[in-house]
Amino acid sequence: MKVTVFGIGYVGLVQGAVLASVGHDVVCVDVDEGKVEALKQGDIPIFEPGLTTLVKDNFEAGRLKFTTDAEMAVNHGEFQFVAVGTPPDEDGSADLKYVLSVAETIAEHMQDEKIIINKSTVPVGTADKVASTIASKLEARSKKLSFSVISNPEFLKEGSAVSDCLKPDRIIIGTSDSTSEEKMRELYAPFNRNHDKVIVMDVRSAELTKYAANCMLATKISFMNEMSNLAERLGADIESVRHGIGSDPRIGYQFIYPGCGYGGSCFPKDVQALVKIAGDIDYKSSILEAVEEVNNRQKNKLYEHLSRHYLNKNPSQSLAGKTIAVWGLSFKPNTDDMREASSRVLMESLWQSGAKVQAYDPEAMHESQRIYGQRDDLILSGTKEAALKDADALVICTEWSQFRAPDFELIADSLNEKLIIDGRNMFDPEVMKSKGFDYYGIGRGLSIQR
């Protein structure tokens, strides 16, 4: 089947490559000429396990093409995927200018029937706006062409997006048009063989499902972080509590890991957007507002642990002049995405206090360089061991697997002080105490000190 994908970002590139991998004829279009040319040369702009090989193989096979020619792209595919960004506006709402711009482009060039598929995360009612935009443009062209607008939200997890796309746990199709539904079922048939994963609903319910899913997961994270703060003050260990509640099948173990806050391109933006959507219909979303408040507070936790440690040792001591080693810059493992990452809040707070940072991340070093450029108070180290050299403390922001079993003797020898702030609870506090470290986790009761 012939497919066009507007937007060669995280969602569009993965979706396009995966559809091509099962034999569909896919054209990806973007306004960024540099990105398009780089993809043609095999230069993949994001890190995602398995994506580079998937893109290269299907590009070389001719099933996946990249272009800036919107007219050619529109006339290529019966299916028109809209996978452009919906960045948060100043008031937290999702900015639809790119989505509606694509709708205008499709309407300007289409010559036959099209199925327009909203893959971007968009507010409830966006499909209606897209349909209205296309209808108005066609009327201005004096064209009477049939089209339908479908909501088909993505549920990809950064770090496992290719796998999620190849083996989806559900395929949401928001439409009331039976013909479009059947064509969508045919498009997704290669991913729907084991059992029927397709869930059909009306467009507005599909649009809300995406927001509801992300906001539920964000709520679980903020709830556990709230419990972790209680645990610290009550002398309890949140990891024991996590095991205790996770064993309840009504709760489960997923997304109940306490830490230094969630980040990325989805949870922060989608929580803010749904709060704004609720406000627009005169409904105060108290739970979601609290979710965001807890998360923003939690991102300061690592800095607070550091600052409190030095103040407790010497009330006149500050972080000015200190050098802090930071392991992990991406908002989660297996991605180079630093959007809304806790590491950014930490580093920027350290710099404001006059401290320096020596950082290492397996994949996000170039992204950090892009964000912060050259600065005297940031050293991007080539290895996690190099980041430790002559630092005053180690702070762990991201739970990369290579950080799970480090050489603690080397850490002790490299640091000026045996101090670890663990934002992901990777180590056992009692073990760290036995090794002579001052160790601060998240919600681990009374902080473990020598």
* DSSP code at position 445: S
Q: Which structure tokens are listed for 363?
A: 């994949």
Residue 387 carries which side chain, given as an amino acid letter?
A
- 266 catalytic? Reply is yes
CA distance linking residue 341 with residue 345, whole number of Å: 7
Query: How far is CA 379 from its chain centroid?
Result: 25
Instruction: End-to-end CA distance of the chain: give it in Å, rounded.
Output: 65
CA distance linking residue 25 with residue 19, whole number of Å: 8
Q: Which structure tokens are listed for 447?
A: 């902080």
Specify burial of residue 336 (Cβ count, 10 A radius: 0-12, 13-18, 19+).
buried
Q: Which structure tokens are listed for 200?
A: 């059909």
Give which of 253, 50, 240, 251 is closest to 164, Cα–Cα.
Answer: 50
Contact 84, 119 (CB under 8 A): no
Give 3-state DSSP helix, strand, coil % of the chain, rounded to 5.
45, 15, 40
Residue 374 carries which side chain, given as an amino acid letter?
Q
Q: Which structure tokens are listed for 207?
A: 């649009």
Whole-Å CA distances, 303 to 306, 311, 373, 392: 5, 12, 22, 14
Around 407, how many Cα atoms within 13 Å sit in the side-chain half-sphere?
9
Whole-Å CA distances, 367 to 2, 150, 235, 341, 361: 34, 34, 39, 12, 10
Name the E strands within 88-227. 114-118, 147-151, 171-174, 198-201
Given 28, 215, 260, 266, which residue is catalytic?
266
Name the E strands within 332-396. 356-360, 378-380, 393-396
Transcribe 57-108 into DSSP letters. Answer: HHHHTTSEEEES-HHHHHHH-SEEEE-----B-TTSPBP-HHHHHHHHHHHH
Q: Which residues are catalytic?
A: 266
